[in-house]
Structure 1
C-alpha cells in the first residue's frame, strides 16, 4: 500500500511538472482588426452576399449603369427589395441562387429582405 502511494505521488509530480512549458508567453496580445467588408467587383458587376441573415456588405457604392448581384449563401430564402421608388425588387430565392439589378439613376436607395427584419442595406448610385 505504501509503495502504491509513493508511485502515485511520483506520477502526479511528474504529470504536474510536464504541464508547464518552456516557451515564454508574450506579455502583450496582438489585436487584429477585421478589414471592412467591401463588395466584390468582377466584370463591372458588384457582388453582395446574403450571409448569416445580413447583406455583406450592407452598404455599396456603384456608378450608374453598374450591376449589383445578390447571392444567397444562407439556407433560408431571401430577397432584396427597395423601400420605395427605383431599386431592386427580387422575388424570394434559395441558397446558391442569385438576383441581379442594374442601377440607372444617381441617389441613395435603402433596401431590405422583406422576410427578415433587420436585414437591411443601402445602395449609393453616383
Structure 2
C-alpha cells in the first residue's frame, strides 16, 4: 500500500501541523483546505490513505470519500469531525470509511489509527 496520504482539512494551522507530523513519520503527504483542491490532487495522485474533515467550505468529507473510493477501492480513509457527530460517523462507515476520529485530535493517536489500517 502506498505511503501517500491526502489530508483535507479547512483549518490551515491544524492541516499543516498534521502534514508536518506525518511527513516526519515517513509518509508522503499532500494537503488541501477544500474539496475542490482535494479533487484536483486526487486526479493527479494515487493515495493509499486519506484523512478527511467532514465539514469543509464547499462540500463534505463523505462526498470526497465516495469519489476517492470510486477511484481506488483500496484507499484507507479516516474521517474526522467535531466530537458528538456519531450519526455522521455511522454514515461515513456505511459509505466506506475505515475509521472515524473525533476532534480534538492527538496526532500520535491519529498515527496509531493509520498504522492500524496498514
TM-score normalised per structure 1? 0.26
**Structure holding more helix per residue:** 2
**Structure holding more strand per residue:** 1
| Rg comparison, structure with higher value | 1
